[in-house]
């Protein structure tokens, strides 16, 4: 059961990351290219280009967070980590997983809370009529997956150590 949940979380993380990298970044490149061309050649930039670019960067960032966490791609002190023994590495992974879990849990909670408020107050971009709540909802969904990734990262060292003892 736990391996099925882990596989589902991994697939969701990879799918979000793929969409963020292969869809959002090319769209961002096109918008920025058009904006720069219009700005420097015709002296008439897209007035909404900055807002859209920021929202797309938000999508790329949140879409990639769960995947990077799942592959343990975050920056850490490798010089110290390499010197640690297996038990200390396990404890370190569990502690960092717990800290990440708390962060992701708070991020997810606040994202869903803000989604409701932004929807209620109809908050959106100033230069183009796009509401902010779908983007914050997306961040919350990514936060849920990120929270699950940190739970896996927290408990995985304990399963590894119990499996090593059994074999």
Place of tokens 């999508």: 59
Q: What is the pLDDT of residues 34-75, one digit of tens each?
A: 999 999 999 999 999 999 999 999 999 999 999 999 888 877
Return the pLDDT at 119: 97
Return the pLDDT at 54: 95
Determine the structural domain holding residue 126 and report its residue range. Answer: 2-166
Radius of gyration of the chain (CA): 20
Count of domains forming the chain: 1
Return the pLDDT at 167: 42
Q: Could you list the mean pLDDT of each consecutive 10-residue stretch along the chain, which spans 167 residues?
A: 82 95 96 95 93 96 94 80 88 85 97 97 92 97 95 74 46
According to DSSP, the residues that pair with 131 across neighbouring strands are: 124
Return the pLDDT at 157: 62
- DSSP tag of 126: S
| CB contact set of 123 (below 8 Å; sequence gap of 6+) | 117, 131, 132, 133
Nearest C-alpha neighbor of 74 from the set 103, 109, 107: 103
- DSSP tag of 22: I
Return the pLDDT at 97: 85
- Whether residue 101 contacts residue 145, with contact meaning beta carbons closer than 8 Å, is answered with no
């Amino acid at each position: 059961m736990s391996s099925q949940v882990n596989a589902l979380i991994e697939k969701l993380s990879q799918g979000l990351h793929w969409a963020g990298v292969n869809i959002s970044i090319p769209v961002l490149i096109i918008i920025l290219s058009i904006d720069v061309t219009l700005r420097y050649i015709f002296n008439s930039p897209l007035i909404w280009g900055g807002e859209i670019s920021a929202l797309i960067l938000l999508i790329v960032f949140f879409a990639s967070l769960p995947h990077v966490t799942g592959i343990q791609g975050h920056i850490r002190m490798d010089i110290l980590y390499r010197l640690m023994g297996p038990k200390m590495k396990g404890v370190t992974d569990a502690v960092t997983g717990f800290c990440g879990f708390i962060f992701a849990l708070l991020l997810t909670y606040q994202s869903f809370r803000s989604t409701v408020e932004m929807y209620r107050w109809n908050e959106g971009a100033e230069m183009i009529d796009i509401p902010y709540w779908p983007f914050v909802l997306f961040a919350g969904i990514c936060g849920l997956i990120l929270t699950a990734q940190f739970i896996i990262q927290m408990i995985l060292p304990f399963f590894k150590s119990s499996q090593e003892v059994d074999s």
